[in-house]
Structure formats: C-alpha cells, structure tokens
A = this chain, B = another copy of it.
Amino acid sequence: MANENILVIGGGPTGLEASKGIAELGYKVILVEKRDKLGGTPISAGYAALTPDMQNAGDAMAEMAAAVENNSNVEIMLNSEVINSEGESGNFKVKVKSDGSEKEIAAGAVIVATGFTHFDPGMETQKYGYYEHDDVITIVDAEKLLKAGTFIRPSNGEKPKRVAFIQCVGSRDRQIGNEYCSKVCCGITSKQAIEVRELLPGCKVYIFYIDMRMYGYWENEIYWPAQEKHKVNYIKGMATEIIKKGDSLIVKGEDTTMRRPMEIPMDMVILAVGMEPSEGTKQVADIFGITKNKFGFIETTGGALNTVSTNVEGVFAAGACNGPADLEDCISAAGSAAMKSIATVRRVAVTA
C-alpha cells in the first residue's frame, strides 16, 4: 500500500526548507537529524553570519527550525540516524536508530539533505602547518572567532596586524582528488575579510587567490565593497608553504601577477577550506543504493534540467550532499525536491 508520508534526512537549511514546504502543502514529513538540534552546519560549526547578506546565522537558523517545529505536519526525530532501507518508491520501509532504539518509518518518498563536511587541511596536506602553528586557522575557525566578536591570534591572544587568507585549500587540487571548485569559499573569505577589517581597522588583510569566483551579485555586493570600501588586498598568487619565524608566519609562494616569488610575514593565516561529502552523505547514499560521483557526493540525474533526482526512483537529494552549493542553491533545490517528492507520492497513490 502506498504511503504519502515523506522522509527528510538532515535538518540543515536544505532539510528544513524542504520539510517546511512539504508540510505547508498538507503532507506529513518525518525529519531525521543525527545531531541533538536542528540547523545543520551553520549551527554545528558555529557560523557567525551567512554569505552574502550577513544575516546572523543563529537567528536565521532558529527561525527556519521554528517553522518546522511549529508545524504539526512535521515529526522531528533528533539524535537519529538512518541505518537501513527496504522497499521502493511509494513504499519505503526505513529503519532509524534513535537514542539507542530502532524504529521503522514508512514513507512514500525520501529527500536526502545530508550536506557536506569542511575539508581538513591538516589531514591531507601538511604544507600549511595547520596542526603545527596556532595562528594558522580555517575559515570555519574564523567564523567562531567572528561570532565571539574578538578576532585574536590563538597563539598569544593579541590582535593581529596582518592577516592572510589562502583560497582553494582542498579545492581545484588534482593531487588530493578534489578537482572541483567549492564555489562558496571566495564569497565566504571576502565576507570574513570585511568583518575582520570592521573589527580591527588597523589590521591589513590580504587574500591570495587563483580566480576570484564572485559570481552574479557577489561581485557587486561583496567583492567591490571589500576592495573599495574595506581596503582588502587581493593578490593573485599561489601560497605553497607556511613556516614559522619567530613570532610571525611566513607565507611562501608565487605572486602570479607580478611573476615573482613571494615571502610575506603574517600574524595569522586563514585557510579557505573547501567542501567534501559528509560521512552521513556517503552512508545514506549506500543505504539507499544512490550513485555517488567520484568525489563521493551524490550524483543527480538529468543534467542541468533536474537538480534533485537520483538513480533511485522516489529518492531525491538536495543541497550540498550533491556537491558544492551556496545557500541559495540549497534553498531553491529544497523547493524542487519538496515538489518532486510530493508529485511522487501522489502519482504512486493514484496508480497503486
């Protein structure tokens, strides 16, 4: 017998938006989240402000969470993980482990919204000294400092006078197998550069990049103000190594515009780490038999004209579990997945 309920896996921006959309159309949602709270990576990683519009991340996610918590069509299961699935489109039987006990959920369609994980710059490549030098941090670490409102050097608690961002850490890198561009790091970096300059007007901020991928309105909303209003210095160059010299960090590499080697002293270096598939994405893909691409993200079918369908009928995937995605991508795709999943349960209900 066909089931009209829809299972949403993942309670980040994508899963919350999809759940809200489905519930507002009168269908029942079971929202499964492995953590003990909703909000996804913006909450678990402690983001300060969203890119590009600098909304307070905590407030924005709390509002999204409240929208599903206050909708009686949504059943929320926290501390819960999908561990098995049987059945087919219209009639999935999904086993969920929740606080130690197991429960079977019946659903007509499934939306995977298991997101991404941040690249670990210490694990894959040691050239930046992420695990060695206290003042080498990532854009994820920087969000926490910015959220606290005190942007200080981890090594000594002092305000930095010279900060460098290094782009494409874990992205566009064949050596480690991450050939894709992570799409959002240029924007996040420029947003953080502005925030650092606002907090510490005396601090010089440099961004070392290959191409600044400030697509669409990010160009005029972030990139131009960063340069013109906030005097952030963009340097087209590759940083290949970071060493410690006395109290400073030395960024070594090549300035590709000036075509000369560079060795620039910095107080802090912030690595713009890219996106990788989360463990949850890989696990859920395997449980449902969803095809992954060579990077481990979910492979959607239908090219540019279908952003959420997978090889498994009745199972949709939206947001960063499919690859690099900005928040707008996630929110839009959540709508598409919501719509197609409802169409699926309606179609199955009619033909069953």
**Chain A positions near chain B (C-beta within 8 angstroms):** 13, 17, 21, 24-26, 50-53, 55, 60, 64, 172, 179-183, 211-220, 224, 256-259, 303-308, 323-329, 331-340, 342-343, 346-347
* Residue from the list B53, B305, B326, B335 in contact with A333, Cβ < 8 A: B335
4 smallest A-B Cβ distances: which pairs?
Answer: A335-B336, A332-B332, A53-B303, A304-B327
A228 to B179, CA, bound (A): 13
Q: Which residues of B contact A339 (CB under 8 A)?
A: 21, 24-25, 335, 338-339
A309 CB to closest chain B CB (Å) equals 11
| Chain B minimum-CB-distance residue to A23 | B343
A17 to B336, CA, bound (A): 9
Does B331 lie within 8 Å of A307, measured CB to CB? yes
Does A181 lie within 8 Å of B305, measured CB to CB? no
Most chain B CB within a 10 A radius of its CB, from A64, A336, A340: A336
Q: Which residues of B contact A224 (CB under 8 A)?
A: 179
| Chain B minimum-CB-distance residue to A217 | B180
Total copies of this chain within the assembly? 2
A291 CB to closest chain B CB (Å) equals 15
A257 CB to closest chain B CB (Å) equals 7
Does B342 lie within 8 Å of A216, measured CB to CB? no
Does B328 lie within 8 Å of A304, measured CB to CB? yes
| Chain B minimum-CB-distance residue to A61 | B305
A101 to B334, CA, bound (A): 40
A333 to B307, CA, bound (A): 10
Q: Which residues of B contact A307 (CB under 8 A)?
A: 328, 331-332
Q: Which residues of B contact A303 (CB under 8 A)?
A: 50, 53, 55
Q: Which residues of B contact A323 (CB under 8 A)?
A: 216-217
A342 to B21, CA, bound (A): 10
Most chain B CB within a 10 A radius of its CB, from A216, A257, A303, A343: A216
Please list 22 pairs of residues, one from A and one from B, whose beta carbons are closer than 8 Å in the complex, sorted by A's number. A21-B336, A24-B347, A25-B25, A25-B342, A50-B303, A52-B304, A55-B303, A172-B219, A179-B224, A180-B216, A180-B217, A181-B215, A182-B216, A215-B215, A216-B323, A259-B259, A304-B327, A308-B332, A328-B329, A329-B332, A331-B336, A336-B336
